[in-house]
Structure 1
Amino acid sequence: MSSAIKNIYNIKINSLQGTPINLQQFKGKKILFVNVASKCGFTAQYKDLQNLQDTYKDSLVIIGTPCNQFGKQEPGNASEIQEFCKVNYGVTFLITEKIDVKGKNQHPLYKWLTDKDSNGKQNSTVKWNFQKYLIDEQGEFLNYFYSITKPMSSRITKYLN
């Protein structure tokens, strides 16, 4: 197994409001990164993601990463995305700026999540909205889950119990 080239905690990403997020603050908790979209068939997972966050709040941080690369299903600007998430699903977990999760403008976070040379574990491709990536308490890559895996699925919660 090759060691990760870059520590996930050093990756720079901004919140939906544009302020830098220091991923280092989440060391000691697992992090579930989810590329989210407001107009997707999986959008109802926002509710389950919030439930997952509430259930495991002492050991898990959920970070939603809005993305408009799949069917243009996240057309909103920052304030529209925030309003949608809060009003429709009561989302209180962290949402980042809108980013690209694949392609030539792929955000460094998703480069790390999807590239074995970066994360030290495995390659993957983001197939659709609501794909999930789980990181352990020390910032090590654990696993990823396709959109069809519900947030409260035992495939995910087995890592949290």
Structure 2
Amino acid sequence: MARAFLALWLAIWAQAAAATGLTGTFPNIDGGTLSIESWRGHPVLVVNTASECGFTYQYEGLQKVYDTYRDRGLVVLAVPSDDFRQELDSAEAVKEFCAVNFGLDLPMTDITHVRGAKAHPFYKAVRDETGFEPSWNFNKILIGPDGKVVKTWDSRTKPESAEIRAGIEALLN
């Protein structure tokens, strides 16, 4: 009886958590925190990044997408990660690299785990909800204004691709 009650309670809790959308905070590369909840009502494109990757050129596309849609509510969040051993040694080095080489002014987290047992809770929640886990750097997750995953893309899909732009535009007010 207790086991059945516990299973029912867990199922109800999981439904309630899914109904509220993804939550969580990230350490901000500039200090403080970045909260997924603070962007509720806006689409958010979350991208795990790395400064020494063959896809690093996509930072330019991320900034272009952010510049194009930020006034309409889009948030682009870069999540530097060394999970694939291609990130610089410190958040300060990452921030400087991105500013000097790409002029980034989009929100960026501190260096963060995005896969496996050490993954940030946001990435664990995405994996639990969708089965998606970054398989390399510059994987993209589009979160809808309701906080739920709308679509995911791998590294090969450029941020300014027609597919990603269409997904973003469908969510903008």
The alignment's TM-score, normalised by the length of structure 1, stands at 0.89
Separation (CA, whole Å) in 2 of partners of 1:73 and 1:123: 24
State the partner residue of 1:64: 78
How far is 1:144 from its partner?
0.3
CA contact (8 A) 1:131 1:147 kept: yes
User: Matches of residues 122-137 of structure 1 in structure 2 within 5 Å?
Assistant: 122-137=130-145
Q: Is the aligned partner of 1:79 residue 2:92? A: yes
- For structure 2, the 5+ residue unaligned runs are 1-13
**By percentage of residues, which structure has more helix?**
2
Q: Deviations over 1:62-98 (max 9, x none)?
A: 001110011x110331111100001100100011011
Aligned-residue RMSD, C-alpha? 1.6
Separation (CA, whole Å) in 1 of partners of 2:16 and 2:42: 19
How far is 1:8 from its partner?
4.8
Count of aligned positions: 154
Q: Percent identity?
A: 34
CA contact (8 A) 1:48 1:151 kept: yes
CA contact (8 A) 1:31 1:62 kept: yes
CA contact (8 A) 2:22 2:122 kept: no
State the partner residue of 1:142: 150
Name the larger-Rg structure.
2
Separation (CA, whole Å) in 1 of partners of 2:54 and 2:137: 9
CA contact (8 A) 2:23 2:147 kept: no
Does the residue aligned with 1:80 lie in a helix, a strand or coil?
helix
The alignment's TM-score, normalised by the length of structure 2, stands at 0.83
How far is 1:4 from its partner?
6.4
Separation (CA, whole Å) in 1 of partners of 2:160 and 2:153: 12
